[in-house]
Amino acid sequence: MLFDWFTFFAQIINFVILVYLLWRFLYRPINKVMDDRQRQLQERWNDAREQEEKAQQEAQKYRDQQAELEAQREALISEAKAEAEQKRQQLRQSAREEIQQRREQWQEALQQEKESFYARSRQKLQQETITICRRVLQDLADAELEDQAIALFLERLKDQSNNEETELSNLKNTGIEDVVVWSGFELSSPQRQQIALTLEKQNLTHSNAITFETNPDLIFGIEARFGDHEVRWSVDDYLQDLDRTFSELFTTNISH
């Protein structure tokens, strides 16, 4: 059998042409379609990943915003609670202060009323007591009581004159010119002589320098004035002591 080289080369050429045609019109379009498909899939995949990342970012942003809103809500709630508590404390403190103020005002008014009542009672009692004492002493006044009052006055005069620490003793050394003797009752001549004699014996003055005057305000008392200095004995002194005792007594009761 003879080998046909022409047919051999023709078949080779046909095969090459077939391969070219297949590559040109079949394999190449298929590859292109596959590449396009691959590219589309890759783009879709990239888009999907991008969308997923955006979605995750949006979700994270939403979570952050939600957390921020929650924090703001908690802060607002805490602030509102704090303001409400502060307002409640202020109202409570204001109520306490108002109650305390009204209580103090009531106590002050009560204390003032109490003091006023005690003051009126004290004044009335003092006036009545002193008035009664004065009336009793005036009604009981007689020569014997007057002599006793003069004796007490002269005793006090001697004590002050003989005591070197008294002002009267110092005045005695400088010399006393005029002496005025006031009495709450009219002095008789013997009574005046008795007083003048005592003043002379104490070297306080002489009888010609003594002036006798009557002063009804000296309740059953006698007063001798040596310039700016005076020596006196009077029932009114005891009544003043009684008045001070009443005052101290009522003041103590008011304070309690």
Tens-level pLDDT at each residue, the chain (256 residues): 556 777 777 788 888 888 777 777 777 777 777 878 888 888 888 888 888 888 888 888 888 888 888 888 888 888 888 888 888 888 888 888 888 888 888 888 888 887 777 667 666 765 676 566 656 655 555 557 777 878 888 888 787 777 666 666 666 656 556 788 888 778 888 888 888 888 777 777 776 778 888 887 776 788 888 777 778 777 777 767 766 776 666 666 555 5
* 219 CB-near residues (< 8 Å, 6+ apart): 134, 137, 138, 184, 234, 235, 236, 239
Which of the 8 DSSP states describes residue 187?
P
- What pLDDT score does 143 carry? 58
Tokens of 120: 């009126």
pLDDT score recorded for residue 65: 86
Strands 222-226, 229-233: pairing kind: antiparallel
Report yes or no on whether pTM surpasses 0.75.
no
Q: How far apart are CA 124 and CA 250, in angstroms?
A: 12
Length of the chain: 256
Contacts of 115 (CB under 8 A, 6+ apart): 254
CA-to-CA distance for 218 and 211, rounded, in angstroms?
Answer: 16
Amino acid at site 42: Q
pLDDT at 169: 62
CA distances to 8, 14, 216 from 5, rounded to whole Å, are 5, 14, 187
Helix (H/G/I), strand (E/B), else coil: 226:
strand
